[in-house]
Structure 1
């Protein structure tokens, strides 16, 4: 793992997902943890990724890695 903490205030769990917002399209994209920390993205632990909520009218896109 890349050993990055969750960016939610007060959370010290290890991040497992990266969240990106696309304001123009009213969309939130949640995917696997990015390889590098990027500005304007948010790294989330499993609990906060699962509890993700967005404003009414927004769409959430969840990308998952399939293990074969």
Structure 2
């Protein structure tokens, strides 16, 4: 895809998602891997994206990509 490693220390898997924090709104947003590395974001592999949690009282927003499942006709 974009050949970027997971941001977690010691993890060598490929990143599939990008995590962004909005401190003002106490929100963590996890979405598809961004097109380019951005400052203050974290690229995560599928395992770390699934396990991701936010501080108590924070809202977590998970954007998921829709896959084309094809026609069933």
Q: Which runs of 5+ in 1 are unaligned?
A: none
RMSD: 0.5
Does residue 1:63 correspond to 2:63, yes or no? yes
TM-score when normalising by structure 2: 0.91
CA drift at 1:67: 1.3
After TM superposition, the runs of 4+ consecutive aligned structure 1 residues lying more than 4 A away are none
Structure 1 residues 4-36: Cα deviation after superposition (integer angstroms, max 9, x where no partner): 000000000000000000000000000000000
Q: Which runs of 5+ in 2 are unaligned?
A: 69-73
